[in-house]
Structures are given as structure tokens and as C-alpha cells.
Amino acid sequence: MKTALISGITGQDGSFLAEFLLQKGYEVHGILRRSSSFNTGRIEHLYFDEWVRDMKQKRTINLHYGDMTDSSSLIRIIQQVQPDEIYNLAAQSHVKVSFDVPEYTAEADAIGTLRMLEAVRILGMEKKTKIYQASTSELYGKVQEVPQSETTPFYPRSPYGVAKQYGFWITKNYRESYGMFAVNGILFNHESERRGETFVTRKITLAAARIAQGFQDKLYLGNLDARRDWGYAKDYVECMWLILQHDTPEDFVIATGEMHTVREFATLAFKEVGIELRWEGEGVEEKGIDVQTGKTLVEIDPKYFRPAEVEQLLGNPTKAKTLLGWNPRQTSFEELVKIMAAHDMKFVKKLYLRSLEK
């Protein structure tokens, strides 16, 4: 049985990856950051505390307290778990927030990656442990060519992108310096019903569900013209695993090869909950209007614009398709929006019913 260690296991990708690896027969361990409130919501269906839950239920994943800003905890956990594979998914991953906490973003996303690699090296596990580093399309930022591939020059436009660029190069450096199987997966935007509520896609589907059910009046967005290559996170974790099963350690772009605007995403999400939007006006004056009622449901708020905007990201997944046999369009853009909108319609209704019980 193979053993995997996932940092960032409580996040969107970590939860899907944990499920995927369990289905593959792995023993799964995760790094959990200490918090005064529970942050294991996405994985609680996988995690059974033997003292609280049914004593007969086998514990399916094992959680360890640690932090990407604390190298001693990483060394301790890796030594204890002795993983065959490490998936480093932990990060301060919100681009807009990285402008507010640039130093912490660098500590967790850049130096955190170094700490993980160095922990494996210090423990003499360079030949035993394969390492997957979660890289990002934000590396391309002010894009130098369209679409972006493994050879496209980087031009990050946020503290998050810059920190992740360090993570990318230090992973490559350790691979070339110490012969480690350490690889980067350059993931383009990947969303799901488990996406954090502050990310624009989930913000849209939640707002559409709330507006449709009468719990919210309006949705405020930033740049409607921003174009992204959006895929389904559940499909992308399969590619992470495939990268570590490849014969040689190589870096791969993980993307769909399709691009859509924030406006398109919003239009589709509202349509899924039964509301047809008509767009009027330009720039900050643009509005999304309910065709049936004439009511303005979407407006622009300049506070959501980034200090340095990334206008378009479009990945070229040819290498992953060819060498790994991965299908980047397993879930279409329309299906992705449908999954998220349907989930949030139920989610909002459940919250309302729960509030009535109090």
C-alpha cells in the first residue's frame, strides 16, 4: 500500500485528492493547520474521530498538526509518515488577498515550498519520496503568448504569483540539484462546489442561489471582462496523481484549453437558477438586469479590481493529454457551472431551514 501526505488537505483540491487516493487504495495523511474553529468541513466525511464517532468505523485518513511556516513540524510529520508521495497543495491562494498580506503569502507559498523540499532532503528521503508542487497559471500574469504552455515565459502580476514563481523554480532546482522526483503542475483556474466562498465563481453561484430564493438583492463584481480557463477541480486532481506516476519527473500545464469571461460565468449561473440576465452599460456602469422583472441584479464595484489585473489566461494541455493520457474536458464549462449552481441552490435552502430551527 502506498502512503501519501497532502498539505492543504482541508482545501478544495486537498479534499478531492484525498477521496481520489483513497479510491486508489492509498493510506492518506494530511497536514492540518491549528485553528480555534473547525476547518475540516470539506473532509469530515473522510475523517472519523474514534472517540466521538462510531467506534467500529475505520479511520480513513490521518491528520497531523503542522504549518508551512514551521519547518520543524514538516520534518516531524514527514519522518513519522514516511510518505511515498507528497502533494504540496497548501498555500495562501487568494490572489486579491495576497496584495493585503504579501509577506505571509511569501512565507507560506514560496518559503513554505522550500521547507517541504528541504525536510525531505534532510531526512534522506530524496530517492523514496516523490513531490508534487501545486503551481498556478498566475505565473503567466501579463501573458507573453496565447495559449500558455510549459515553455511560456512567466510574468506574475500579484504577490501570490511571485511567491508561486519561487515555489516553481525551487522545486525544479531541487530536482536538478539532488535528483529528486519533484514536479510542478501548473494548474489553471479550477472550480467546484467546494470552492471557497470568496472566490469569484463560488461567489457568483451562491449569490445567484440566494437571489433566486429571495435572500439577497444584488451581486457586486469586479472586472467582468477578465477571461479564464476554468476546469473542474475533481478532474484536475487526477492529473496531479498522473504526473507523479509518469516515468520521469516533468512539469505539466493542467488546463482545459478553453477561455470564458466572468460575465459568461454569471450569465450561465443565473440561467441555471431560472433567471435570464440582460447586460447594459459599459465599464463600471455595466449592470446585469433580470429580463423578466427589469430589476438590476448585478453591479460593478471598483473595490474588486486588482491593483495589477490579469486579463486573460488560456492553458495548452497538449503535453498532459499526450504523455499522461489525461482528458482535460471530462467536465465541460457548462456542466461545471451547473454542478456549482445546483449545489448552492440546495445549500442556501438548507441554511434557511436550519435558521428556522433555531
Domains of the chain: 1-192+229-256+310-330 (3.40.50.720), 198-222+260-307+337-355 (3.90.25.10)
Task: Give the mean pLDDT of the chain.
Answer: 92
How far apart are the C-alpha atoms of 107 and 92, rounded to whole Å?
Answer: 9
Give residue-wise pLDDT tens across range 199-231.
Answer: 899 999 999 999 999 999 999 999 999 889 999
156-180 average pLDDT score? 97
* Per annotation, catalytic residue among 26, 87, 132, 160: 160
Tell me the whole-structure pTM to 2 decimals. Answer: 0.90
- Res 56: pLDDT: 46
**Does residue 160 carry a catalytic annotation?**
yes
165-170 average pLDDT score? 98
How far apart are the C-alpha atoms of 141 and 347, rounded to whole Å?
Answer: 34
* Per annotation, catalytic residue among 129, 136, 152, 267: 136
Where is average pLDDT lowest: 30-39, 106-115, 196-205, 294-303? 30-39
49-66 average pLDDT score? 63
239-248 average pLDDT score? 98
19 sits in which H/E element: helix 12-23
Say whether pLDDT at 57 is over 70. no
CA atoms within 13 A on the CB side of 345: 14
Say whether pLDDT at 310 is over 70. no
* Per annotation, catalytic residue among 19, 138, 193, 238: 138
Instruction: Name 182's bridge partners.
Output: 131
Say whether pLDDT at 108 is over 80. yes
Angle at 95 between CA 233 and CA 305, to 5 degrees: 115
Give residue-wise pLDDT tens across range 1-51.
Answer: 999 999 999 999 999 999 999 999 999 999 998 765 557 667 777 765 443
